[in-house]
Chains A and B, each alone.
Chain A
Amino acid sequence: MLIGIVFIISVGSFYLIHLLPGNITTIIEGPGASPANQAKLFKLLGLDRPIYEQYFVWLSNVVHGNLGTSFISQESVAATIRTALPIDLEMIVISQILAFATAIPMAMRSARKPDGIVDRIFGAGSFTLLSVPPFIVIILLVLFVSIKLGIPHTGVSTYVSFGSDWIANLESMALPSITLAIGSFVVYFRVLRSDLIATLQEEFITMARSKGISQRRIMWRHAFRPSSVALLGAAGVNIGGLLAGGFVVQFLLAIPGLGYTLIAAINQNDYLLVQGIVFVVSVGVVLINFIFDFIVNIVDPRISRE
């Protein structure tokens, strides 16, 4: 199944480049190139060969880690992706830590008294956040944190790499990570809350209560694990979504991750880079979903037995 999906993704991203309007040779050599030169380049690039042959040449290169060399910057696509990807990963890791650290305690607090005052406030708050798209969150954060409060390194185009100054790096990652964390928090909170409420009505919880086990221990030891299956499922979908959808945040704050590189590549007609990023991100999303399915099976072995 996994191999089938990756195969279809590879065909999809390969074919993307053939959907382009216009002649690739014109884009590389400029509009003034002579037809003879264009024909020469056409042959040089192997574009005169049948399309399935082109695909297999491309595929064997990809398997060897070669995604081609950009026509525009003359740099290897794989190397460009290797420098950009860690930035995405850092952003995702920070945002997920923030999201889980807030969502889990708040969901437990909410689930303890469903429809209580705390639950209602949390519920209304999370529902409101659900309707605020990330690009509005980031604009408001920039407006209040960077401009009104004047905190350094948090505004637009102030990205500092982790290697050069890690404190400044964390500062520059703060706003994008918080933005992504808010989106994730809403999902995790709502999923975990409704699952905990269902779990807390089960008989083994009543049993644990009657044994006099403390509320805290019941929550963490007895209720959390069976309730975390849906949470993990949601996390898999969500983290994959962040890898694919983190570009808005990166684009707005000029953080040179994969998303930012993708948009820049699209604007410069850097087709090979677009193709490479689409391929890597799509495979990444599929892998993340696959890994989370695997984790869910470990947490709740009943699922795979069904």
Chain B
Amino acid sequence: MSNAILIEQASIVEKPEKKAPLGPLFWICVGWIALNFLGAIFANVLPLQNPLYQDYASINAGPSLHHLFGTDDIGRDIFARIVFGSRVSIAVGFGAMVIGFGIGTPLGMLAAYRRGRFDTFMTAFMYILLAFPAIIATIAVLSFWTPRSLLKIIIVIGLASVPLVYRVIRTAALAVSTKDYIIAAKVQGATDRRILLKELLPNIAPIGVSFLLIGVATVIALEGTLAFLGLSVSPPTPSWGNMINESRTVLQDNPWLAIFPSLALCLFLLSLNFIGDRLRNHFDVTEVKL
């Protein structure tokens, strides 16, 4: 699960120069993500064609008024399939990250706050796990753990992301836990639990959220990769990865089947990455100001 932004973050510490404004493009991206969410939630209610209905009268048809994005090789409406397919991508992306952050955040915070033997052991363990190529492990486990389901995919990817989340959260929490206000809280006799939840967590939350979004983008791309290997949700359930994979055999006759789902996927990833990147720049600066 290599992602350029994560590698970048791991290797450099950018010098904040001026407060990075969020800008209109940021809100356009937020709007686009929100639109995709609405589409995924209300796909059943929206006036869409049945994504599984095979219309043999129009096979591999190009975009038209009746089929907005055209039809695939067995006459299914591509637009409807993209809207329904967003459900899988969104579920896998956010589901896996909820698991990854759900486990990685408490461990990372505890390790950074307690330090000592727990931290040494935990960090060594996680770094060894990081050395193991997560993508190979994911594929190996998914190919042997049959029958596959959306839930299993979410669990496997979520667990595979824990070491990375741990590293990011621990690094962020280490920087915060030496701050004066944490020490002040300790001196005032606040319980560990209170310091962790009320002082530490809110202060690493911005960094956590921006990484969550970038992580979601990485996981969605990973789901697409798995679909190519036949390891994602089984057809005929549409997912963006499945659709792009299905387009391989008819690439010559029907390039639309490759282009529209790719566009949907890339725009979604672009928005997530952009929001994540902007948030990181935005909050890095405020953190330094504190």
Interface residues of A (CB under 8 A from B): 4-5, 8-9, 12, 16, 19-21, 127-128, 130-136, 139-140, 142-143, 147, 156, 183, 186-187, 190-191, 194-195, 198, 230, 233-234, 237-238, 240-241, 243-245, 247-248, 251-252, 262-263, 266-267, 274, 278, 281-282, 285-286, 289
Contact = CB atoms under 8 A, between A and B. Distances in A.
A8 B128 CA distance: 8
A264 to B, nearest CB: 11
A240 B133 CA distance: 8
B244 A237 contact: no
Given A238-B2, A281-B136, 15 more contacts: A127-B270, A128-B270, A130-B4, A133-B224, A136-B244, A139-B251, A140-B262, A195-B12, A233-B10, A234-B7, A237-B2, A245-B135, A274-B140, A282-B136, A285-B131
Interface residues of B, number: 48
B251 A142 contact: yes
B4 A244 contact: no
A162 B7 CA distance: 33
A285 B133 contact: yes
Contact of B244 (A21, A139, A263): A139
Contact of A131 (B128, B133, B248, B266): B266
B233 interface: no
Interface in B1-38: 2, 4-5, 7-8, 10-12, 14-15
A251 B270 contact: no
Contacts of B248: 139, 156, 252
B147 to A, nearest CB: 10
Nearest to A275: B140
Contacts of A133: 221, 224-225, 265-266, 269
A195 B13 CA distance: 9
A237 B217 CA distance: 19
28 contacts: A5-B131, A8-B128, A9-B131, A12-B132, A16-B144, A19-B141, A21-B146, A128-B270, A130-B273, A131-B272, A132-B269, A133-B269, A136-B244, A139-B247, A139-B251, A186-B4, A187-B4, A191-B7, A194-B12, A195-B12, A233-B11, A248-B225, A262-B139, A263-B139, A281-B133, A282-B133, A282-B136, A286-B131
A131 to B, nearest CB: 4
Given A21-B144, A142-B251, A143-B255, A187 B269 contact: no
A134 B252 CA distance: 20
B258 interface: yes
Interface string B227-269: 0111000000000010010011001100100100010011001
B274 interface: yes
A186 B225 CA distance: 19
A193 to B, nearest CB: 10
B128 A5 contact: yes
B277 to A, nearest CB: 8
A289 B258 CA distance: 36
Contacts of A136: 224, 244, 262, 265-266
A238 B7 contact: yes
B54 interface: no
A12 B136 CA distance: 12
B143 interface: yes
Contacts of B141: 19
